[in-house]
Amino acid sequence: MASADVIALARPALHQEVALRLRQRIVAGDIAPGSKLNERELSAALQVSRTPLREAIRMLAAEGLVELLPNRGAVAAQLSAQDVADTFEVIAGLEGQSGELAAQRIGDAELAEIRALHYEMLAAFTRRDLPGYYPLNAKIHALINLAARNPVLTQTYANVNTRLHALRFRSNFDERKWQQAVDEHTQMVERLAARDAAGMRALMVQHLNNKRDVVLELMHRDALQSATGPRT
């Protein structure tokens, strides 16, 4: 009986691991928006059979990172500029509310954890280590959301935020804007420590609106380069 239990647990763990690795590739841009997810190539690259791979792809489709298209199979989601603007509008409101409630409800231990992660994130920024920086950044935002103590808000935030992971990662490609984002994170820690609920809400909305502007600017630049083609 014990061995049957182990077998029953192994399969979901595998497809979740595959989903994590695929998600990381999409977020980092290794799988470009609009690209087809070739099951044969991905199975070989990830060293898994197609069954857990397909389960992982369905998970990412539910998160909005992958689109399942008739006659084309699975492709990495490609948001339009309007999709991006609309989604950032929603996530800014959610993060603003998270920040306000977190400033009112956060405990000392939670604040200490966020502060410690912030220092790690600053070190990654100093090294210009974007792959190391981004997970720390994302965890800080997630912990602020959890400190709001509202499970409905947390679930809604998670559902919407998955659509923007790849774009939020890319928004730090601009050095000056990346520095601005880091400075805003320093202010987040300060306002949480001061229990400044109104200030925290305003800062979080501003932070997300700044991210939106950078992402839309990058999308516009990419569209122009695609339209004009490479210079000779």
**pLDDT tens figures, 125-141:** 999 998 899 899 999 99
For the chain, the straight-line distance linking the first and the last C-alpha, in angstroms and rounded, comes to 67
Structural domains in the chain plus CATH codes = 2-76 (1.10.10.10), 81-228 (1.20.120.530)
Of the candidates 45, 48, 77, the residue with the CA atom closest to the CA atom of residue 61: 77
Distances from the Cα of 73 to the Cαs of 35, 57, 61, 181, 192, in angstroms? Answer: 11, 10, 11, 37, 45
Choice between 210 and 8, residue whose per-residue pLDDT is larger: 210
pTM: 0.77
Residue 18 in tokens: 């595959």
Percent of the chain topping pLDDT 90: 57
φ/ψ of 73, rounded to 5, equals 80, -145
Q: Mean pLDDT over all residues of the chain?
A: 88
Tell me the C-alpha distance between 9 and 20, whole Å.
17
Helices 197-228 & 81-105 angle (0-180, nearest 10)? 160
- Average pLDDT on 161-188 reads 85
- Average pLDDT on 97-110 reads 98
Which residue's structure tokens are 């935030």? 157
